[in-house]
Structure 1
């Protein structure tokens, strides 16, 4: 009797493992590849924009799981090095939300452009069918008009050259608004993160 009970428990465990594996394989995956903005710095992960996008998807009963692949302090160079590891999982839609730290550090826009292209090419090497969204970023004005203009143009140039969906500015309607940012003036509050999710949605929804 004891052996029979153990066998039944073992069979149940195997069934649950198989069920969860099949369920995971059946889910389409949206990967948000970014920095501290994506990670939800200063907030709980449930208050970062990837979680709010998951809420929208769930409300529509769509078969997608959103993965938050944000890493605080990440630059486009770091992203280009990290993307191979991230792409060990299956991905259907890949959003790139990097570049903010490049702008804060005054990194040469040509390097930012090269890194973004590297990330896109690596995603396409993984699977040419992955839909890619590139979100633009802005550099702080204290770096001068020429730099901020060159930096801004990099994202549109990359989007055009690599033929990806382009969102002009990830922090649209949020950057510079004290009420929507934490005391550091850089990282959005939960309300700011919700606005980011709302702004991403028109670019994401047609791909679902």
Structure 2
């Protein structure tokens, strides 16, 4: 009877809350939320998505508008505070827009992933697809950076930040709905679509951090 009573007591107690995970979102304007009201950028929308799906997560916005992979690499050490458990790396767009040598982009991202590996931090690497205006060789080299590095360093991969929006281009007024007037940055509604698509990958990253 005593054992049964104890079992009833413990079964009535709520399950222990999962330990909070701190994820550093290292990126450029796409991460920082350029052009959007506070609370509508990638980080706050992803934070809310994770909470809505039962995750105890602190998502740190380390996005700097205009940053290249070299800039992200330069500020990585002081961005990685002791409480960081995992990283989202969303860099490379400004390298692409400036037509920088993809070998330089790859080298900077590799250094970032190597630092994460040395610290035992799981990473979600977010890629981009280059346009064709720099020529087929540039596009081929740039597009290969992200899957290649993800495979080499065991990182999770989101192949293309804009993939979810590209899939909706046939919708009426898609560009006006999902993109800001500059045609480069997503609108708040566009961010919501991206977050809905990418959320499960970030959730998987959180689970890796808890293991």
* Structure 1 unaligned residues grouped into runs of 5+: 1-25
1:145 to 2:145 alignment: no
Q: Is the 8 A contact 1:104 1:140 kept in 2?
A: no
1:101 to 2:94 alignment: yes
Match of 1:174 in 2: 165
TM-score, normalising length from structure 1?
Answer: 0.81
1:115 to 2:108 alignment: yes
Q: 1:139, CA displacement in angstroms?
A: 2.1
SS at match of 1:146: helix
Q: 1:62, CA displacement in angstroms?
A: 2.3
Instruction: Answer 1 or 2: which has greater helix percent.
Output: 1
Match of 1:200 in 2: 198
The RMSD of aligned alpha carbons is: 1.6
2:39 aligned residue (46, 61, 67): 46
Q: 1:206, CA displacement in angstroms?
A: 2.2
Q: 1:140, CA displacement in angstroms?
A: 2.8
SS at match of 1:119: helix
Q: Is the 8 A contact 2:50 2:203 kept in 1?
A: no
2:150 aligned residue (134, 159, 162): 159
TM-score, normalising length from structure 2?
Answer: 0.80
Number of residue equivalences: 181
1:136 to 2:133 alignment: no
Moved over 3 A (4+): none
SS at match of 1:147: helix
Partner Cα separation in structure 2 for residue 154 and residue 57 of structure 1: 28
